[in-house]
Chain A
C-alpha cells in the first residue's frame, strides 16, 4: 500500500497529466491474463474511458489555479510574519 502510494505521488510530480497511462501499463503487464482488471487491456470500454479522460487531462489549465495557490501562499506568509510582530 505504502509503496503504491509513493509511486503515484511520484507520478504526480512528473507533471503533465499522463499519470494513469504509466500505472495502466504496469497493471496490464502484471495482470494480463487475469480477470481482475474489469476493463481488460483490450476492452473497448477501457480504451474509450482512457481516451475520454486523456482528453480532459490534456486541456489547458486556466491561470486561476496557479493564481489561487500563489495567493494562499502569500496569505500564509503574511499571516506568519504578522504573528511574529
Chain B
C-alpha cells in the first residue's frame, strides 16, 4: 500500500506536539529534534501497521518514547559516565524567553526521574487519558497514576525549595544531590 497524502499530513501535523514531548524527555532541543526525525522515519516505515481511525498521536508518542529509551540505553553503555556530564546537561537549555517562573518550573521538571516526568507530561500536558498513557508507556494504569502523583508532589517540593535561592548551577546541583537521596 502506498502512502496516502493524509498519512504524511498527519505526521506533519503531529510534529509540534512530538517536539514538545521529545524536549520534555530529552531535556535538550537538538537531541529532541533528532528524536522526532527518527520517529518520523520509523513511523513512515511502519505505516502499514497503523490502523487508520485509531489514535495517530498516541501511536507516534509510543514510537518516540521507545526510540528515546533505546538511545538512552545505548548511551549508557557507551559512556559509563561520571556524574559530571549529567549535571552539565541539566544546565543546558534551549534558548527560550520564558518567564523566570517558567524557567524554574522547567528546571524542576528536569529533576524528576524519566518515568515520572513522562507520566506527568502525558497526563497533565499532552492530554492523554490514563489508559492511553499506560499503553504508550507499556505499563499498568495504576503505575501511571502513582508516577503522576509522585511527580506532582516532587514538583511541589522542588518549587517550594527553589524559591529560596538564586537559580545558578549550584542550587541545581544541590537539588540533583537531594533528589538522588530522596528518590
Q: Count the A residues whose beta carbon is within 8 Å of the partner chain — how many?
A: 48
**Chain B stretch 1-19: residues in CB contact (< 8 A) with chain A:** 2-3, 8-17, 19
Contact status B54-A56, CB under 8 Å = no
Contact A5 B54 (CB under 8 A): yes
25 CB contacts below 8 A, A to B, read A4-B132, A5-B53, A5-B55, A8-B58, A8-B132, A9-B54, A12-B13, A12-B14, A13-B9, A20-B17, A38-B148, A39-B124, A46-B124, A48-B105, A49-B120, A52-B102, A53-B24, A55-B96, A56-B20, A56-B24, A65-B12, A66-B12, A72-B40, A73-B8, A77-B2
Q: Nearest A residue to B144 by beta-carbon distance? A: A38
Chain A nearest CB: distance from B128 CB in Å? 8
Q: Which segment, of B65-73, B149-157, B164-172, faces chain A?
A: B149-157
A52 touches B123 (CB 8 A): no
Q: Which of A6, A12, A58, A72 gathers the greatest number of chain B CB atoms within 10 Å?
A: A12
B2 touches A76 (CB 8 A): yes
Mask: chain A, 50-85; 1 = CB below 8 Å from B; 0 = not: 111101111101101110110011001100100000
> Which of A14-30 touch B at CB < 8 Å?
14-17, 19-24, 27
A56 B19 Cβ-Cβ under 8 A? yes
**Residues of chain A with a CB closer than 8 A to B131's CB:** 1, 4
Number of B residues near A (Cβ < 8 Å) is 53
Contact with A along B49-68 (1 / 0, CB 8 A): 00001111110000000000
Partner of B125, one of A1, A20, A68: A20
In the complex, B179 has a CB within 8 A of chain A: no
Question: Known interface pairs A38-B152, A68-B37. Does A6 touch B20 (Cβ–Cβ under 8 Å)?
Answer: no
Among B3, B11, B23, B127, point to the contact of A24 (Cβ < 8 A). B127
Given the known interface contacts A4-B55, A56-B19, A69-B40, the answer about A49 and B12 at a Cβ–Cβ threshold of 8 Å is no
Interface core residue of A59, A64, A65 (most chain B CB under 10 Å): A65
Q: How far is the CA of A9 from the CA of B50 in the complex (A)?
A: 12
> Could you say which of B17, B36, B41, B106 contacts A57, with CB atoms under 8 Å apart?
B17
A50: chain B residues within 8 A (beta carbon): 124-125
A65 to B38, CA, bound (A): 10
Given A4-B129, A53-B20, A68-B41, check contact A76 B57 (CB 8 Å): no
